Structure 1
Amino acid sequence: MITINKLALKILFLFTILSPFVSKAQQLDPALIDLIYKGQNKNHAINSNQLEAEQAQVDQQLAKSVFLPKITLNGSFTRLNDDITFDDDTQNLLLATQKLVIKDAIGLPFNSPFPDNIPLTDIPNLQNKNILKSSVDLDWVLFSGFEASNAIKASKHKETSLNYLGMVEKDKVAIEIIEAYDKLALIKASKNVLTTTENYLKEQEFYIKKAIQNGLATPINRKKIELAQQQLAAKQLEYNHNNILLIELLHQLTGETREKLQLLEPRLEPTAVDLSVEVEKRNEIKALEEAEKATLYKAKMEKNNFIPKIAIKGHYEFIEDDLSLLDPKWFIGAGVKWSIFDGNQSRLKSKKTRLESEIYRDKIENSKELIALSIIKAELSYKSALQNSIIVEKEIELANDTYEMVNKQFKNDLASINDVLDALNDVEKANFKLQESYFNQRRTAVDLLYAKGALLY
């Protein structure tokens, strides 16, 4: 038998409804908070969102790497079918020129024969047929026309948007786990009612048997008791099934072992929310705003395609022997790339991206309107839940008073034991109804805190 201290209950309700609740968050059990964190770490949507945010970080690094010099080492070997040389006339001309230079150097007349004892230098090939090359190239972008800087800003805002979306997913997971946890507490609270009803039916069965023996009742009354016992057995089976399903749901959401979840003893407590708390900007709105900024910077990046780009290029050959007569050993230079007309592709891409930003702006305004409506709805639901708890409190007071009165009458032989058991059963049902009101109150409190962007855990 469970008795209720009416004075303590009144004090509890007065504290719940009238006292200022300075904290924005619910007072959650440590076990529930632990389950929430485990559920958030396990959730696939949150993990995928985090990976996308890391991809945005990589995009920023890629954009920054545009300004880093690119150094490339090259090596190759080529064999031609033959050496590349001057034609015969050019070679003869070069040899004749060489002879004139030598005769002039030794003081021989122009038309005198060339001495046989002086060797001539062979005319070098333009390119030997065996070509071995080893070189290094340098490419260094000095100015990207603001494309890289705008790409970095776009990626940063995209990353921030994804982080806010991750917070939204975390809130959804937290709400789902809190609801499952509270349902488990409500199921466990119903066990007391089932136990009381079971004891009540056993007492009724005993007195019905005695009454039938004394001719004060008929077998129909006994069949009514048997039917009630079968209905109770069905409710007990339903309780076991619901308990198993909730444990399985929490296991799926959090990854916690079923054995540890079975040991949980959740309890429903009244929850108070300060209705005057200011509305915080929801993470959904923040995510859309950051996505809008990202698209605006992306549009700028695409439009900047017409700004000239400046870069430096360098080249150095490590092996000189196989270079042709026309190949330089090294060179360095600066260049400008200026796209004058690209078939309107950059302009159209920029326009398309700006239209995307306008879509985000429309979603922001629509979301603000829906959130404002959800706040009003949540506040009304919360106030109704509080009022319902007050009504249930009165029902408990009436059930307790009735039980005390009937119990006194029974002690003075003015009431039967059945009347006492009926009154006790009413007390248990009223207490379970209070647990249901707490459950609804916590649901509406969570919805209100979430609507106001003030759900903390």
Structure 2
Amino acid sequence: MEKKKIPVALMIAAGMLLYNNTVAAQSLPPTQETSQHQLSFNEALQLLHKGNQSLKIADKGIDIARAERGKLNAFWMPSLQSTGAFVHLSEKIEVKQPLSQFTDPAKDFVHSILPDDKIISSILDQIGTNTLIFPLAPRNLTTVDLTAEWILFAGGKRIHATKIGNTMIDLARENRAQTDATQRTLLAESYYGLRLAQEIVGVRLESYKALKLHYENALKLESTGMIDKAARLFAQVNMDEALRELEAARKEEAVVQRTLKTLLNLETSGDISPSSPLFINDTLPPKMEFMQVVGISNYLLNQLSLQEHMAKQQVRIDQSGYLPNIALFGKQTLYSHGIQSNLLPRTMIGVGFTWNLFDGLEREKRIRQSRLTQQTLALGQEKARDDLSVGVDKLYTGLQKALDNVRALNTTIELSEELVRMRKKAFAEGMATSTEVVDAETLLSKTKVARLAAYYEYDVTLMNLLALCGIPEQFGSMKDVTSLPITENRRNEIEIE
């Protein structure tokens, strides 16, 4: 059999394509350096704890709870009050005593001795018509007093109120921990979202460069007559589409940049460049371990448990309303004008009690309400446990799905890269169409983006799962086990001639 001779034109075109590939790769416009701030995930976490507004609000919540506990503990201390008053009376305070009650017995005595006496009796009668007046206080009175009261027994109210105050602080701390876990989750979404966006920009840039080089090769082949105009136009359309996707990826990256800066409360003008790569674990802990941890450390369950404890103490406070209050009291007059000390002593001290015997069944209603609140919180815990089990199962399944996707996409990428290499070689030799090359490049780009998305889904889902279990700090020990290689950050604008 005779060997087919390769046309000279085809050999010349192939040589031109190989030369153009080298020249085009060397003639790409240089990228412009931009101000970037390298930031690892741990550094971002430190900035989060330093400047995040939500965490500052949660810290204030702990301070408020401490102040509330101080208010409740104040009932253990005696109360000391100073009172003063100026009083103007419409009349003087005085004692009036008629003298007749003294003269009448005297007249009877005189008559018993001197039956015919008239002189002494007339004198006594005149005296008896008068009234003896003793002034006690003037119309204007002024007093300054110091009073003290110390409750000795309140039926146990203060003991249970103190327990409620301590529980309020624990509840505020639990809320702060939940806020921290929420912010950690947002940080993982924003930080690794930025990393994902930058990696996608790199993939889109690679795809654009490849399609641009393919378009330039198509121009050369069209000039030699090896492909028609339609094939060259198809290459140009796909190059333009790749450029559009690149610009869209850059815009999406800018949005995530602003989101991360807002979360970290950063005002730097430069861009953040995440240095911690997207990662995925080779294996996952058993799902049952997460189920056990979520029942112990979940923030919602802990908050409901603390609220139930507070409701229980409130029931006991309401029950103490059946008991009397016993208090020690005293009074010291510091200044007095118009009131004599022999009429009103300057110092008093004593012990008293108050006992509410009947209040229209208000105590019974309060006790019932507190018990219903306690029962509602107990039911809420049971429902929360069921919901958390479903949540753990859903997130764990998401991790497994992302892990399976990465494993499958790794193989697909290897095959796609080999397909692109073969299609480019065949196109250079005139054995493949422009459509086949473009399809191969597009498939490789989509597969790389899909793998990046699977890594991102795994990282964010893992953080959400750990936050749900109440152990978000374990995220640091689980990352960087198996990671994507850190690629060059090629986000800079390119010039289109």
1:205-260 alpha-carbon deviations (Å, 9 max, x no partner): 22222222222333323332332233223212311221121122223322122535
Aligned partner (choices 31, 46, 51) of residue 34 of structure 1: 46
CA apart distance, 1:300: 1.0
Shift of the 427–239 alpha-carbon distance from structure 1 to 2, 3 Å rule, reads closer
Distance in 2 separating the partners of 1:167 and 1:439: 24
- Give the counterpart letter for 1:270 in structure 2: I
Contact 2:69 2:168 in 1 (8 A): no
Matched, 1:382 2:395: no
In the other structure, the counterpart of 1:78 is 87
Question: Which structure 2 segments of 5+ residues have no match?
Answer: 1-20, 22-39, 107-119, 124-131, 477-497
In the other structure, the counterpart of 1:155 is 165
Aligned partner (choices 121, 138, 163) of residue 128 of structure 1: 138
Secondary structure of 2:149 counterpart: strand
1:419-441 alpha-carbon deviations (Å, 9 max, x no partner): 88876776555444332221122
In the other structure, the counterpart of 1:23 is none
In the other structure, the counterpart of 2:112 is none
Aligned partner (choices 336, 349, 354) of residue 353 of structure 2: 336
Contact 1:247 1:258 in 2 (8 A): no
Identity %: 17
Secondary structure of 2:332 counterpart: strand
- Equivalent positions of 1:44-83 (< 5 A) are 46-83=55-92
Aligned partner (choices 231, 237, 252) of residue 242 of structure 1: 252
CA apart distance, 1:170: 1.8
- Is the strand fraction higher in 1 or 2? 2
Distance in 2 separating the partners of 1:32 and 1:272: 25
1:4-40 alpha-carbon deviations (Å, 9 max, x no partner): xxxxxxxxxxxxxxxxxxxxxxxx722332344246x
**Higher alpha-carbon Rg:** 2
Contact 1:305 1:346 in 2 (8 A): yes
Distance in 2 separating the partners of 1:168 and 1:213: 66
Distance in 2 separating the partners of 1:53 and 1:338: 36
The alignment yields a C-alpha RMSD, in angstroms, of 3.4
1:369-408 alpha-carbon deviations (Å, 9 max, x no partner): 1111222222222122211111112123323444666788
Aligned partner (choices 361, 364, 367) of residue 378 of structure 2: 361
Contact 2:156 2:317 in 1 (8 A): yes
Shift of the 422–88 alpha-carbon distance from structure 1 to 2, 3 Å rule, reads closer
In the other structure, the counterpart of 2:414 is 397
Contact 1:382 1:441 in 2 (8 A): yes
CA apart distance, 1:168: 1.7
Shift of the 409–217 alpha-carbon distance from structure 1 to 2, 3 Å rule, reads closer
CA apart distance, 1:449: 2.3
CA apart distance, 1:198: 1.9
Aligned partner (choices 303, 316, 330) of residue 314 of structure 1: 330
In the other structure, the counterpart of 2:305 is 289
In the other structure, the counterpart of 2:460 is 443
Distance in 1 separating the partners of 2:63 and 2:325: 29
Contact 1:273 1:445 in 2 (8 A): no
Aligned partner (choices 424, 445, 450) of residue 433 of structure 1: 450
Contact 2:279 2:455 in 1 (8 A): yes
Distance in 2 separating the partners of 1:360 and 1:403: 61
Secondary structure of 1:74 counterpart: strand
Distance in 2 separating the partners of 1:187 and 1:350: 57
Aligned partner (choices 352, 358, 369) of residue 352 of structure 1: 369
In the other structure, the counterpart of 2:98 is 89
Distance in 1 separating the partners of 2:430 and 2:265: 57
Shift of the 253–127 alpha-carbon distance from structure 1 to 2, 3 Å rule, reads same
User: In terms of mean alpha carbon deviation, does 418-427 or 396-405 score higher?
Assistant: 418-427
CA apart distance, 1:201: 2.4
Secondary structure of 1:333 counterpart: strand
Distance in 2 separating the partners of 1:350 and 1:36: 44
CA apart distance, 1:311: 0.5
1:92-140 alpha-carbon deviations (Å, 9 max, x no partner): 969x99xxxxxxxxxxxxx9x9xxxxxxxx9651112232222211111
Distance in 1 separating the partners of 2:80 and 2:102: 44
Distance in 2 separating the partners of 1:335 and 1:93: 43
- Give the counterpart letter for 1:447 in structure 2: N
Shift of the 167–340 alpha-carbon distance from structure 1 to 2, 3 Å rule, reads same
Shift of the 231–410 alpha-carbon distance from structure 1 to 2, 3 Å rule, reads closer
Secondary structure of 2:339 counterpart: coil
User: In terms of mean alpha carbon deviation, does 222-231 or 377-386 score higher?
Assistant: 222-231
Secondary structure of 1:395 counterpart: helix
Distance in 2 separating the partners of 1:258 and 1:415: 53
Taking structure 1 as the reference length, what is the TM-score of the superposition?
Answer: 0.78
Taking structure 2 as the reference length, what is the TM-score of the superposition?
Answer: 0.72
Secondary structure of 1:334 counterpart: strand
